[in-house]
Structure 1
Amino acid sequence: MQNQEFLSEFLALPPEAQTQVIGLIESLKEKYKDAESTSSSLNTDLMDDEFIGMWRDRQELRSSSLLKNLRENEWSETHE
């Protein structure tokens, strides 16, 4: 639907329906404005985050088998 056609259809509506259309447009603008700002905040560069790489100098964490054993021990149902 072209802009002019949309405008003609809109103007052909009764005033109450026009008010509803305007309300819907405002509601959709708010919804997608919030979604856009959330999306842009999620796109921050993770490499600049202070938590990324915070344990890179920990020598005892170099072994994945050690970490696997620690997790299994901590997450097991029999662990008390």
Structure 2
Amino acid sequence: MNTQTVMEGFSSLPPDAQQQVADFIDFLKVRYQKAKPAKKKVAREALAQEAFIGMWRERKDMQDSSQWVRELRRKEWG
């Protein structure tokens, strides 16, 4: 089946059927579109330059973050 035959068949359909064909074409476009490339991961070097990295470095109460969380939960939840 070539494009000309498809277009002739499409043109011979009533408007409602033409809309259904157009909707189906849109569905197929979405279904078969090429996968978009994944976004690039942030480089570690760039992340290391962010201001929030190491912001609690000097806090003595956060030397062991797991212990800090356990203590905080104990205080809050009893």
Q: Same fold (TM over 0.5)?
A: no
TM-score for both structures, normalised by structure 2: 0.41
Structure with the higher fraction of residues in helix conformation:
1
TM-score for both structures, normalised by structure 1: 0.40
